[in-house]
Structure 1
């Protein structure tokens, strides 16, 4: 988000969004960990729209889609983002157990 905001401020947003649109796989980790302001959410929406049905996106989140309204505080924008991400998507739910914690515990046994 920081890079997108800086690009917008420097009148380089189109160039930056196009760059994110070209990578084969865009990975967004920990989505839902922090609340995004409206501007950040709108910029993310632009990136997702640029990639729509062209290139893959992998998102890791510790929240269900229904809880994303805490991250994207505008309900309409949240619905649009979820709609973009879930259309023709493969959704993998791993449950609530932490992989990192389980891995650490297994190493120490």
Structure 2
């Protein structure tokens, strides 16, 4: 998400960003990871909205987020904008909610647990 917002913000002044945006608009699939982890400004929210408004009905979009729809106003900072974006995103979509343990946390736990050589007990480092 952070990279996408940076590209959208700098499209008018950076040739590389302009090329990336052009590639996004010509893509069949856009995947945006970590939506909502960090709040965005009103300008960034408007750019985000414009992107999804333009891509609606043209490109498949996958978003990952840890925020429920009711929490989008918080990180976008604007209830009307959140409603407009969610309206476009939820039209003709499938929502898949995954509950369970974090893979990253489980992997971290196994990294932190070592087996003592002498008695075979597991010990956290």
Q: Fold conserved (TM > 0.5)? A: yes
Counterpart of 1:88 (choices 82, 86, 92) is 92
Higher relative CO (CA 8 A, sep ≥ 6), structure 1 or 2?
1
- For the structure 1 residues 38 and 68, does the alpha-carbon distance in structure 2 shift closer, same or farther, using more than 3 Å as the test? same
The answer for the alignment partner of 2:40 in structure 1 is: 36
Counterpart selection for 1:57 from 58, 61, 67: 61
Counterpart-to-counterpart distance in 2, 1:76 and 1:19: 29
Q: Over alpha carbons, which structure has the higher Rg? A: 2
TM norm structure 1:
0.82
More strand by share: 2
Residue of structure 2 aligned with 1:45, choices 46, 49, 57: 49
* Structure 1, gaps ≥5 residues long: none
- The 3-state SS of whatever aligns with 1:48 is helix
Q: Deviations over 1:63-106 (max 9, x none)?
A: 10101111111110010011111000010001263233345557
Q: Determine whether 1:70 maps to 2:74.
A: yes
| Cα RMSD, aligned residues only | 2.6
Contact 2:45 2:76 in 1 (8 A): yes
The total of aligned residue pairs comes to 108
Unaligned runs of 5+ in 2: 114-125
Q: Is the contact made by 1:17 and 1:46 (CA closer than 8 Å) also made in structure 2? A: no
Q: Secondary structure at the match of 1:60?
A: strand
Q: Which consecutive segments of 4 or more residues in structure 1 shift more than 3 A?
A: 11-19, 102-108
- 1:36/1:72 contact within 8 Å kept: yes
